[in-house]
Amino acid sequence: MPSPSFRIEPLPGYTPIVGRLVGMLLYARHTTLAAVEGLSVAELDYLQDGSSKRVTTIMRRENMNECGFPGLL
């Protein structure tokens, strides 16, 4: 089955560049939530080794970026 094709188009209510960026954030949010749907807390908090990151840490970082707090990463 071929992968669906996605186009990031400017969203109404924003300048074209900002509208595309907002569209990219919405797409990243949608695909991330779809990827973790149905996972348990234990699976989200799993740490493979000392140099890996938990899924919850990655999601928190993504959320902070969306909310405009990159200085807290």
Structure-block tokens of residue 30: 């949608």
Helices marked H in the chain — which ranges? 16-36, 41-44, 55-67
- pLDDT of 1 reads 54
- pLDDT of 66 reads 63
- pLDDT of 59 reads 72
- pLDDT of 73 reads 43
- pLDDT of 15 reads 92
What are the domain boundaries of the chain? Answer: 16-66
**Which value, to the nearest 10 degrees, does the dihedral of the CA atoms of residues 20, 73, 41, 45 take?**
120
Mean pLDDT by 10 residues, the chain (73 residues): 68 90 83 86 78 73 63 47
Place of tokens 């996972």: 39
- pLDDT of 40 reads 87
- pLDDT of 38 reads 92
